[in-house]
Amino acid sequence: MNLESTPIEAVNTTVESTILNGESVLKVTKKEKLMEFDENTYAKLTDSIFHNGTIEVKMLSRLLPDAPDFARGFIGIAFRINEDDTHFESFYVRPTNGRIDDPVRKNRGVQYFSYPKYTFDYFRNLGITDFEGPAEIGLDEWISLKAVINDAQGKFYLNDREEPVLVVENMKHGADAKGAIGFFVDIGTEAFFKDLKITATD
């Protein structure tokens, strides 16, 4: 999908087409909600209505010069976004956690959350670890993401590996939710996206 010709709405972000290493890519950074986690901060494809199928994209993140110490290069997708941006599902990665020696942080390389209630903070406060896991990833490198969505189940794959890095059996907005797709970015991150492919199955 050619992102330069795709209608995109910047939701609490700034969005621009740019050149990175000789390639045309989409750059997304947070503009509002700068210090709030797991919020509606994404570039939304306004013409997309997605229920079930596959979302594939390549993404790369860098830390901004003024990124706080707890920034992790957060980058990912939002999907089934409703019209007023008050409900959606999301999967993102934390590249700085990918190859670190700290076992706690290492197990937080990837994350699912469901806006507005089921954030990573909500899961951690309850000791729920089903929605995060490790991944062999890093900053400033292209990461291939494939999300396979079927009703309430989401399977998430990185870098063309056969096994998913995370499987979510009970996405919080349920089997019937549908809506737009977006490129998600969080605190202290400069996010780049390319090579989007959406394959709908219904």
Percent of the chain with pLDDT over 90: 96
Q: What is the pTM of this model?
A: 0.96
Q: What is the pLDDT of residue 6?
A: 84
Query: With 90 as the cut, is the pLDDT of residue 2 above it?
Result: no
Q: What is the mean pLDDT of residues 46-70?
A: 96
Q: What is the pLDDT of residue 1?
A: 77
What gap in Å lies between CA 7 and CA 78, rounded to an integer?
16
pLDDT in tens, 166-180: 999 999 999 999 999
Query: With 90 as the cut, is the pLDDT of residue 4 above it?
Result: no
Query: With 80 as the cut, is the pLDDT of residue 92 above it?
Result: yes
**Domains of the chain, with CATH numbers?**
3-200 (2.60.120.560)
Query: With 80 as the cut, is the pLDDT of residue 162 above it?
Result: yes
pLDDT in tens, 24-45: 999 999 999 999 999 999 999 9
Q: What is the mean pLDDT of residues 100-113?
A: 95
| Whole-number Cα distances in Å, 125 to 116, 121, 122, 151, 186 | 16, 6, 5, 27, 20
Q: Which residue has the higher pLDDT, 34 or 5?
A: 34
Q: What is the mean pLDDT of residues 139-158?
A: 98
